[in-house]
Amino acid sequence: MSSPTRRNFLKDLSLGTAAFSAAAGPENPAQVAGQPPPAAAAPQASTPAGIMAIAAHPGDAFFAMGAPVALQVQRGARGIFVSLSLGEKGSSTIDPARYGALQREAAERAAHRLGALSVVLPYADGEVPASDEAKFAVCDLIRQHQPGVVVTHWSGSWHKDHQACFRIVNDALFYAGLPSIARSQPAHAVGKLFFADNWEDADGFKADTYLDITPAFQAWSEACAVFPMWRGETGFRYNDYYKSLAKARGCLGGVDYAVALMSPPEQLTRRVQAL
């Protein structure tokens, strides 16, 4: 692992270089699929980037991706939680129809607590298809809400829905940014993509960015507590894991609480005119 002085420390997920508390951040926005390499970014540190978390299930959206959303919303940005399914098959004691309704209600309540929006797409839990139909559905949400930042699943997951979500988002970003693809909304190129630190997506996950979520930690953990599964009722102690992880990542980041994020390789490419 690189030394703390060389690791990316972020106070927010805006595009401006002034957002970095240490001088290790990329100086240019990422090249977005379907777009040429962008010119050097104009400083935008005072404008927090809108953020969209796109997950297979509501638990992933709020537990693994929710703290960055909470932070950006706290800074004045728009936050949108997108779940491809309700995660309705996640309970061994409550039937899927009932559990799905509980999950939808919890997602809406949690998003509302954070001042964000919850959107659930109608795919079946465990059967999320990496289809063009799903990719264009996500493309349309990206074009509609125009986030500057997207957080989603890393591909190295044992869960098939998470793998599907990774592929869906990758192509949805491409479709969303390509002006020649005609949809009801004009093209929108997302500035940054990050993969979340998710216990189910750990294969090959390599953190390169530590986001200081201390100001949003309380609000985020209270929003997560709306979900019964946060307390371990489906078998995994999400609350203990993700709150402890935030503390542990904070230790590495030199702050109280942090989340670790992984960037696509092209996003870490630096274009400089001198060394």
Q: Which is nearer to Zn ion, 49 or 56 (CB)?
A: 56
Helix (H, G, I), strand (E, B) or coil at 209: strand
d(CA 53, CA 59): 11
In the complex, minimum distance from the CB of residue 92 to Zn ion, in angstroms, rounded to a whole number: 16
Q: Which is nearer to Zn ion, 202 or 251 (CB)?
A: 202
Q: Which is nearer to Zn ion, 60 or 208 (CB)?
A: 60
Q: Which is nearer to Zn ion, 34 or 129 (CB)?
A: 129
Window 100-119: contact mask with Zn ion (x via CB under 5 A)? --------------------
Closest residue to bound Zn ion by CB: 57
Phi and psi of 62, rounded to 5°?
-90, -40
B/e letters for 102-128, b = 16+ CB within 10 Å, e = fewer, are: bbbebbbebbebbbbbbbbbebebbeb
d(CA 259, CA 272): 28
In the complex, minimum distance from the CB of residue 73 to Zn ion, in angstroms, rounded to a whole number: 22
Q: Which is nearer to Zn ion, 57 or 192 (CB)?
A: 57
Q: Which is nearer to Zn ion, 22 or 130 (CB)?
A: 130
Phi and psi of 91, rounded to 5°?
-110, 140
Q: Which is nearer to Zn ion, 231 or 271 (CB)?
A: 231
Q: Answer positive or negative: Cα dihedral of 185, 187, 188, 193.
A: positive
In the complex, minimum distance from the CB of residue 159 to Zn ion, in angstroms, rounded to a whole number: 6
Question: Residues 28, 38: contact at Cβ < 8 Å?
Answer: yes
**269: its two tokens:** 């490419």
In the complex, minimum distance from the CB of residue 165 to Zn ion, in angstroms, rounded to a whole number: 8
Using CB under 5 A as the binding rule, whether residue 201 contacts Zn ion is answered as no
**18: its two tokens:** 């002034």
Window 59-98: contact mask with Zn ion (x via CB under 5 A)? -x--------------------------------------
Beta bridge partners of 152: 54, 195
Window 28-57: contact mask with Zn ion (x via CB under 5 A)? ----------------------------xx
**2: its two tokens:** 């690189």
Site for Zn ion in 210-239 (CB under 5 A): none
In the complex, minimum distance from the CB of residue 253 to Zn ion, in angstroms, rounded to a whole number: 25
For Zn ion (CB under 5 A), the number of binding residues is 3
d(CA 69, CA 211): 11
**144: its two tokens:** 């509609």
In the complex, minimum distance from the CB of residue 162 to Zn ion, in angstroms, rounded to a whole number: 6
d(CA 75, CA 59): 23
d(CA 264, CA 266): 6
Q: Which residues bind Zn ion (CB under 5 A)?
A: 56-57, 60
